[in-house]
Amino acid sequence: MRDAWALAAELQWARWEMAGGPQPMARKERLTLARTIADRARALRGDDVLAVGLYGSLARGTDGPYSDIEILCVLRTTGEGYTREWVAGPWKAEVDFYGQDVLLEKAAGVDERWPLTHGAYVHVRALHDPDRFFPKLRGVVLNQPKEKFLAAMRELIVGDLYELVGKLRNARHFGHTAGLPMLVVHMALYGAFLVGLDNRHCYTSGTRAFEESLRLPGRPGGYDALCRLVMGGKLNNPEHVVGACEAFWSGVERWALTRGLTIEEPRWLPF
pLDDT in tens, 102-122: 999 999 999 999 999 999 999
Count structural domains, the chain. Answer: 2
Tell me what the mean pLDDT of segment 205-227 comes to.
Answer: 96
Residue 265 in any domain: the answer is no
CATH number at residue 178: 1.20.120.330
Distances (CA, A) of 38 to 31, 34, 56, 105: 10, 6, 15, 23
In this structure, the answer to whether residues 163 and 137 fall within a common structural domain is no
Residue 252 in any domain: the answer is yes
Is position 163 annotated as part of the catalytic site? yes
The beta-carbon contacts of 103-110 under 8 Å, at least 24 apart in sequence, are 103/72, 103/74, 103/137, 104/137, 104/140, 107/137, 107/140, 107/141, 108/140, 108/141, 108/144, 110/144, 110/148, 110/149, 110/151, 110/152, 110/197
Residue 264 in any domain: the answer is no
pLDDT at 152 over 80: yes
Beta-strand relationship, 69-75 and 91-99 = parallel
Residue 270 in any domain: the answer is no
Among candidate residues 142, 172, 189, the one where a domain is terminated: 142
Write the pLDDT tens digit of every residue in 254-269: 999 999 998 888 888 8
Share of the chain above pLDDT 70, in %: 93
In this structure, the answer to whether residues 103 and 212 fall within a common structural domain is no
Supply the pLDDT for residue 44.
96
Tell me what the mean pLDDT of segment 139-153 comes to.
Answer: 97
Active-site residue, selected from the candidate residues 10, 85, 105, 163: 163
Q: Quick check: 73 and 96 in contact, CB under 8 A?
A: yes
Residue 269 in any domain: the answer is no
User: CA nearest 55: which of 39, 70, 40?
Assistant: 70
In this structure, the answer to whether residues 104 and 167 fall within a common structural domain is no
Among candidate residues 109, 142, 175, the one where a domain is terminated: 142
**Confidence band of 1 (pLDDT split at 50, 70, 90):** very low
**Following CA atoms 94, 95, 100, 101 in sequence, which dihedral angle do they give, to the nearest 10 degrees?**
-50
By residue range, what is the domain housing residue 244? 146-258
* Amino acid at the residue 39: D
Share of the chain above pLDDT 90, in %: 85
pLDDT at 252 over 80: yes
**Confidence band of 11 (pLDDT split at 50, 70, 90):** low
Tell me what the mean pLDDT of segment 85-114 comes to.
Answer: 96
pLDDT at 4 over 60: no
pLDDT at 74 over 90: yes
